[in-house]
Structure 1
Amino acid sequence: MNIDIPEGKDPIGYVWGEMVPGIGTAAAAMSLAVYQHTTLGLREFEAARLRIAQINGCLFCLDWRTERDGRKVEDDFPDAVTRWRTTDALDDRARLAAEYAERYALDHHGLDEEFWSRMAAHYSQVEIVELTMSIGAWLAFGRLNRVLGLDAMCVLPKI
């Protein structure tokens, strides 16, 4: 871990809540809002989230599976997300979500008109904004946890 945590303190609670409460508490609320208020389907949500987790290398995020109404994506879904270009396991929306997450994280200047035409054919403008905010949150907070070495200790509260 790259941050000193006092004995007996929860690393996530300490870093996110106690060290910078004016920022960390708001960041935690944003992170939870992505899960609590999403209107996106589970598969496209998880395709984007997992692709960012794969890029960030966040151990917790790679292991986490979002659950909705007692359902989670299948066990081999992360492998399909890794192979989003060639797999038949993703529908068009999930494939685009994985592609968007990857390009957002690695080549946001390369999001061209052809890409946006495909997005507009499969997502409403509201969904595009929601997906964009979600990807931004996962990129920032997953990377923060990975860089600081918190990802091996991260536990999200029940939502």
Structure 2
Amino acid sequence: MARLDVPDGPGGEAAMIWTLRPQLGDMVERMIRGAYQQSVLPADERELARMRIAQINDCAACAGFRARSVLDAGVPPELYDNVAAYASYPGYTPRQRLAIEYAERFATDHASLDDAFFERLRESFSDPEILDLTLCVAVFLGLGRSLTVLGVDQSCAIDL
């Protein structure tokens, strides 16, 4: 149950909370759509980073969410099965593994994202891709934690 008085309406609390501040709601929707519809990253890499954030945030709704655009991109359901064990799971590509590691360290120990890590990252990702990954991770982490702190039911009402 939300810690704020959220009106009932379509999409549940996660959609309706933004009616308290419509301008901010518009901004949030643009951020989410940007992460999904304007990202230069392959959907699988972005999704693996998102899933690691969902696990770290302990958000069951986020962990269970699959955007239509991701399904349409052909991201297989089994891709999500080994995210927490990414470092030892042989089924991920080096880029996928780096995307997960970046998301994890961004969320849990951002100060450890040092020059040595960025050297590894830049061996596989272009600067625009790194910026894209950074912003996607920031959106996933920030919005997920914001809704959790506010006690909002996090079923996603946006068709991405």
TM-score (norm 1): 0.88
1:53 aligns with 2:54: yes
> How far is the alpha carbon of 1:147 from its aligned partner?
2.1
Task: Identify the match of residue 74 of structure 1 among 76, 81, 85.
Answer: 76
Q: 1:110 to 1:8 in 2, by over 3 A?
A: closer
Q: CA RMSD in A?
A: 1.9
Runs of 4 or more, structure 1, over 4 Å off, are none
Q: Deviations over 1:122-157 (max 9, x none)?
A: 0000000000000000001111122222244x2232
Residue ranges of structure 2 left out of the alignment (5+ in a row) = none
* SS in structure 2 at match of 1:85: coil
Matched-pair contact (CA < 8 Å) for 1:51–1:81: yes
Give the Cα–Cα distance (whole angstroms) in 2 for the partners of residues 49 and 94 of structure 1.
12
In structure 1, the partner of 2:35 is 34
Residue ranges of structure 1 left out of the alignment (5+ in a row) = none
Q: 1:151 to 1:52 in 2, by over 3 A?
A: farther
Give the Cα–Cα distance (whole angstroms) in 2 for the partners of residues 6 and 64 of structure 1.
23
In structure 2, the partner of 1:4 is 5
Give the Cα–Cα distance (whole angstroms) in 1 for the partners of residues 50 and 59 of structure 2.
11
Give the Cα–Cα distance (whole angstroms) in 1 for the partners of residues 52 and 120 of structure 2.
19
1:78-157 to structure 2, matched below 5 A, reads: 78-152=80-154, 154-157=155-158
Aligned residues: 157
Give the Cα–Cα distance (whole angstroms) in 2 for the partners of residues 75 and 68 of structure 1.
10
Q: Deviations over 1:20-71 (max 9, x none)?
A: 2222221221111111111111221111110111111222210012434724
Give the Cα–Cα distance (whole angstroms) in 1 for the partners of residues 88 and 39 of structure 2.
27
Matched-pair contact (CA < 8 Å) for 1:44–1:97: yes
The one-letter amino acid paired with 1:31 is: I
Matched-pair contact (CA < 8 Å) for 2:7–2:17: no
> How far is the alpha carbon of 1:7 from its aligned partner?
4.6
> How far is the alpha carbon of 1:8 from its aligned partner?
4.9
The one-letter amino acid paired with 2:86 is: W
Q: Which has the higher contact order (CA 8 A, sep 6+)?
A: 2
TM-score (norm 2): 0.88
Give the Cα–Cα distance (whole angstroms) in 1 for the partners of residues 70 and 55 of structure 2.
22
